[in-house]
A and B are shown apart, each in its own frame.
Chain A
Amino acid sequence: MDKKMTPLSKLFLLVIFFILYAPIFFLVIFSFNSGETMYDFKGFSLEWYRELFQDTRLLIIVLNTVVVALLSALISTIIGVLGALAIHQAKKRQTKNTLLSLNNILIVSPDVIIGASFLILFTMAGIKLGFYSVLLSHIAFSIPIVVLMVLPKLMEMSPTLIDAARDLGASRWNVLTKVIIPFIIPGIFAGFFMALTYSFDDFAVTFFVTGNGFSTLSVEIYSLARRGISLNINALSALLFLFTMLLVVIYYFITQRNKVNGMGVRKH
Chain B
Amino acid sequence: MNSTIIQFTQVTKQYDNDPPVLNDVSFKIERGKFYTLLGPSGCGKTTILRLIAGFTEASKGEVLFNGKKINHVPANKRQVNTVFQDYALFPHLNVYENVAFGLRIKKMKNAEVDRKVKEALSFVNLKGYETREIREMSGGQRQRVAIARAIVNEPEVILLDEPLSALDLKLRTEMQYELRELQRRLGITFIFVTHDQEEALAMSDEIFVINKGKIQQSGTPIDIYDEPINRFVADFIGESNIVTGRMIEDYKVEFVGKEFECVDQGLNPNEPVDIVIRPEDLEITALERGKLQVRVDSQLFRGVHYEICGYDKDGNEWLVHSTKKATVGDEIGLYFDSEAIHVMRHGETEEEFDRRLEAYSDVDTNGK
The interface of chain A, by Cβ under 8 A from chain B, is 158, 160-161, 163-171, 174, 178-179, 182-183, 261, 263-267
B55 touches A (CB below 8 Å): yes
Which B residue's beta carbon lies closest to that of A163?
B55
Are B53 and A183 in touch, CB under 8 angstroms? no
- Residues of chain B lying within 8 A (CB to CB) of residue A171: 76
Which of B2-10, B86-94, B307-315, B320-328 touches A? B86-94
B296 touches A (CB below 8 Å): no
Which A residue's beta carbon lies closest to that of B85?
A160
Question: Which of under 10, 10 to 19, 20 to 34, or 35 or more describes the interface residues of B?
Answer: 20 to 34
Which A residue's beta carbon lies closest to that of B99?
A168
B84 touches A (CB below 8 Å): yes
Are A264 and B91 in touch, CB under 8 angstroms? yes
Are A267 and B82 in touch, CB under 8 angstroms? no
Are A168 and B81 in touch, CB under 8 angstroms? yes
Q: Which 9 A-B pairs have the closest CB atoms?
A: A264-B135, A168-B102, A164-B88, A160-B88, A166-B75, A182-B92, A265-B91, A169-B105, A167-B82
Interface residues as binary, B176-220 with A (CB distance below 8 Å gives 1, 0 otherwise): 000000000000000000000000000000000000000000000
- Residues of chain B lying within 8 A (CB to CB) of residue A179: 90
Are A170 and B91 in touch, CB under 8 angstroms? no
- B105's partner among A161, A170, A263 (CB-CB below 8 A) is A170
How far is it, in angstroms, between the C-alpha of A267 and the C-alpha of B146 when the chains are bound? 15
How far is it, in angstroms, between the C-alpha of A86 and the C-alpha of B332 when the chains are bound? 69
How far is it, in angstroms, between the C-alpha of A166 and the C-alpha of B101 when the chains are bound? 11
B106 touches A (CB below 8 Å): yes
- Residues of chain B lying within 8 A (CB to CB) of residue A164: 82, 84, 88-90
- Residues of chain B lying within 8 A (CB to CB) of residue A263: 135
How far is it, in angstroms, between the C-alpha of A171 and the C-alpha of B74 when the chains are bound? 9
Given contacts A158-B88, A267-B166, contact A168 B74 (CB under 8 A): no
Are B91 and A166 in touch, CB under 8 angstroms? no
How many Å from the CB of B127 to the closest CB on chain A?
Answer: 22
How far is it, in angstroms, between the C-alpha of A265 and the C-alpha of B85 when the chains are bound? 14
Are B153 and A168 in touch, CB under 8 angstroms? yes
How many Å from the CB of A160 to the closest CB on chain B?
Answer: 4
Are B86 and A170 in touch, CB under 8 angstroms? no
Are A161 and B90 in touch, CB under 8 angstroms? yes
How far is it, in angstroms, between the C-alpha of A167 and the C-alpha of B153 when the chains are bound? 10
- A261's partner among B76, B92, B149 (CB-CB below 8 A) is B92
- Residues of chain A lying within 8 A (CB to CB) of residue B149: 168
How many Å from the CB of B92 to the closest CB on chain A?
Answer: 4
B334 touches A (CB below 8 Å): no
- Residues of chain B lying within 8 A (CB to CB) of residue A168: 76, 81, 101-102, 105, 149, 153
How many Å from the CB of A163 to the closest CB on chain B?
Answer: 5
- A167's partner among B76, B86, B166 (CB-CB below 8 A) is B76
Are B92 and A161 in touch, CB under 8 angstroms? no
- Residues of chain A lying within 8 A (CB to CB) of residue B147: none
B134 touches A (CB below 8 Å): yes
How many Å from the CB of A108 to the closest CB on chain B?
Answer: 33
How far is it, in angstroms, between the C-alpha of A264 and the C-alpha of B85 when the chains are bound? 15
How far is it, in angstroms, between the C-alpha of A166 and the C-alpha of B102 when the chains are bound? 9
- Residues of chain B lying within 8 A (CB to CB) of residue A178: 101, 105
Are B101 and A165 in touch, CB under 8 angstroms? yes
How far is it, in angstroms, between the C-alpha of A121 and the C-alpha of B74 when the chains are bound? 45
Are A163 and B135 in touch, CB under 8 angstroms? no
Which A residue's beta carbon lies closest to that of B136?
A264
CB under 8 Å from chain A, chain B span 159-185: 166
Are A160 and B84 in touch, CB under 8 angstroms? yes
Are A264 and B134 in touch, CB under 8 angstroms? yes
How many Å from the CB of A164 to the closest CB on chain B?
Answer: 4
Q: List 9 A-B contacts (CB under 8 A).
A: A160-B84, A163-B84, A165-B90, A166-B75, A167-B80, A168-B81, A168-B105, A174-B105, A183-B91
Are B74 and A166 in touch, CB under 8 angstroms? yes
How far is it, in angstroms, between the C-alpha of A166 and the C-alpha of B77 when the chains are bound? 9
Which A residue's beta carbon lies closest to that of B92?
A182
Interface residues as binary, B118-149 with A (CB distance below 8 Å gives 1, 0 otherwise): 00000000000000001100000000000001
How far is it, in angstroms, between the C-alpha of A131 and the C-alpha of B123 when the chains are bound? 62
Interface residues as binary, B44-67 with A (CB distance below 8 Å gives 1, 0 otherwise): 000000000111000000000000
How far is it, in angstroms, between the C-alpha of A229 and the C-alpha of B89 when the chains are bound? 60
How far is it, in angstroms, between the C-alpha of A169 and the C-alpha of B82 when the chains are bound? 11
How far is it, in angstroms, between the C-alpha of A110 and the C-alpha of B252 when the chains are bound? 86
Are A166 and B76 in touch, CB under 8 angstroms? yes
- Residues of chain B lying within 8 A (CB to CB) of residue A169: 76-77, 102, 105-106, 153
Beyond contacts A167-B53, A167-B75, A169-B106: 20 other A-B pairs, Cβ-Cβ < 8 A, are A158-B88, A160-B84, A160-B86, A163-B53, A163-B82, A164-B84, A164-B89, A165-B90, A166-B54, A166-B75, A167-B55, A167-B76, A167-B81, A168-B102, A168-B105, A169-B77, A170-B105, A182-B92, A263-B135, A265-B135
